[in-house]
């Protein structure tokens, strides 16, 4: 697996660097083969090619374009609607 540096941009515009994150790439076919109702931000990010953190931030802002909900502090993404959203080309 490929590793890349993690950098976060704070609200004041400063950049925090540190740590590494493993890149996980998942295909839509692999996602369709999963036998579960919800997926994690990590699994969705693998399909979209972004960091899971980005999906969490968008969910907290209420700007995600696919159905998701929080269970406690964990974000859950509905698998079937997410697949339909990706297949419709809205990524």
pLDDT of residue 25: 66
Note the pLDDT tens digit of each residue in 61-84. Answer: 999 999 999 999 999 999 999 999
Query: Given CA atoms 59, 42, 83, 70 in this order, what sign does their dihedral have?
Result: negative
Residue 19 lies in a domain: no
Question: Contact 8/47 with Cβ under 8 angstroms?
Answer: no
Domain count, the chain: 1
pLDDT of residue 24: 55
For residues 43-59, one letter each, b for 16 or more C-beta atoms within 10 angstroms of the residue's C-beta and e for the rest, the string is: bbbbbbeebbeebbebb
Domain carrying residue 68:
25-87
Residue 74 lies in a domain: yes
Question: Contact 10/27 with Cβ under 8 angstroms?
Answer: no
Note the pLDDT tens digit of each residue in 2-49. Answer: 444 444 444 555 545 544 445 556 788 888 998 999 999 999 988 888
């Amino acid at each position: 697996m490929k590793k890349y540096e993690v950098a976060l941009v704070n609200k004041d515009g400063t950049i925090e660097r540190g740590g590494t994150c493993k890149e996980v790439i998942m295909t839509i076919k692999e996602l369709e083969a999963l036998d579960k109702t919800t997926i994690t931000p990590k699994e969705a990010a693998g399909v979209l090619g972004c960091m899971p953190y980005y999906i969490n931030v968008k969910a907290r802002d209420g700007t995600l374009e696919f159905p998701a909900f929080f269970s406690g502090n964990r974000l859950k993404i509905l698998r079937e609607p997410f697949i339909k959203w990706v297949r419709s080309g809205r990524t």
